[in-house]
Amino acid sequence: MIRPVHGGNLAWAAALAGCPPSAILDFSASISPLGPPESALAAIQAHLSSLTAYPDPDYGELRTALGEALNVDPDWILPGNGSAELLTWAAWDLSKLEATYLVTPAFGDYWRALSAFGAQVLDCPLDLTSCTIVKNGQDAHSTRDEFSCGTGILPVPKQVIENGGTSGLDLKSLDAGTGNGLVSDDLSVSNGSLVSPSFPLPVPLALGADRALLLNNPHNPTGLLFGREAIRPYLEQLGMVVVDEAFMDFLPPAEQQSSIALVEEFPNLVILRSLTKFYSLPGLRMGCAIAHPDILRRWQLLRDPWPVNALAAAAAAAMVRDAAFERQTWDWLPGARRELFEGLADLPGLRPMAGAANFLLVESSVSVAAIQKSLLQQHRILIRDCLSFPELGDRFFRVAVRDRADNLRLIAGLADVIRNGNLIT
């Protein structure tokens, strides 16, 4: 079978492990282990009779529920068949501009969507080599770690460097010592998540309305959280900014850095939200876009009349009103993430990176393909390799944060294949 480019491919994993898909413990897909919420399942059951009718093409009830949850006028919301569908239409708009800056490593569907419409991409690589975790007092179980990222977020696009900086960007202005802030002085990690709300984005000069920016926040696969105000300069200069906030709802409201509040101020801003990860319903396909109504009306003309099925619409309207489930998730995640982080950090040859989402990116000193294969065949555990991220390759993997028993099983499995499989010499 062809190696998958996405997480969650249980058919591929089961074939490699020699077991049924139901026997695989999946850490490769960043899905909450707490759901689906009962509110969503009850709504699905209650709306089974609606399968004999077409869904409301306006999705009025769903948009009202989403508007209440996100504090947005329903006219500024467009439901979609997962955020992946809406990404496709965002890429169509981006392709009309001269070029799109893309923070890399990047979710593979960004490349898919942009290339489908022939968009010009300028990749802006994160400097992962300068990201370090420094244990306070050399205590591997410290409650507070200091996180630093030397040259940080959104450096000069790679093509600009390769071309000698001829694009008009002022390379000197991006130096960390000039005040544009490639390094955050107050970035720290608490409970396994970034807590600085102002991690800066360096803004290159000579941007214009013929260019765009596409990024996710929190960033996938690193988990870095960008400050809302760090994105504002791009909104003031670029023709379009698309922020994929698929993992933002895993942070409690006080810690979120969502750009939704900026949408009415900037008609060139598009926010994408996924409802399948937080609520554990990836098979149902549900997401939404928040943007100026003119953008959403344009997308509506491009797509099928009923992109969201009736059961998905009913479930979504119910679960975004489920405050108890939200609180349960926010109470659970920090401790579970911290425990998983510390367990991974204690294993030889592995270096987890602290993040703000429900997953951790881990650097490995040995082949991840070998670790992945051994974990599957010996322990029936699937991790997400990063071979589909060219900047990461075979020395990084990503794991979701699951419940305590599952996390301990992963750590034990990794310890076994690393130590007893002679993968670390």
CA distance 397 to 173: 34
What pLDDT does residue 144 have?
30
CA dihedral in degrees (65, 29, 398, 27; nearest 10)?
A: 120
Q: Could you tell me the domains of the chain?
A: 10-30+324-420 (3.90.1150.10), 42-322 (3.40.640.10)
Burial class (CB in 10 A: 0-12, 13-18, 19+), 168: exposed
Mean pLDDT of 99-104: 90
Contacts of 275 (CB under 8 A, 6+ apart): 281, 286, 287, 288, 316, 319, 320
Per the CB < 8 A criterion, the answer to whether 240 and 268 are in contact is yes
pLDDT in tens, 127-143: 666 554 333 333 333 23
pLDDT in tens, 195-238: 334 444 543 545 788 999 999 999 999 999 988 988 998 999 99
Torsion sign, CA atoms 18, 19, 21, 27 = negative
What pLDDT does residue 2 have?
58
DSSP sequence for 264-327: TT-TTEEEEEESTTTTT-TTT--EEEE--HHHHHHHHHHS-S--S-HHHHHHHHHHTT-HHHHH
Mean pLDDT of 360-368: 95
420 pLDDT band, cuts 50/70/90, is confident
What pLDDT does residue 103 have?
86
Q: How far apart are the first and last CA of the chain?
A: 31
Per the CB < 8 A criterion, the answer to whether 417 and 349 are in contact is no
What pLDDT does residue 130 have?
52
What pLDDT does residue 150 have?
33
Q: In this predicted model, which residue has the larger pLDDT, 23 or 246?
A: 246
Choose the weakest-confidence range: 135-139, 250-254, 269-273.
135-139
Q: What percent of the chain has pLDDT over 90?
A: 66
Q: Is 339 helix (H, G, I), strand (E, B) or coil?
A: helix
pLDDT in tens, 374-419: 999 999 999 999 988 888 889 999 999 999 999 999 999 999 999 8
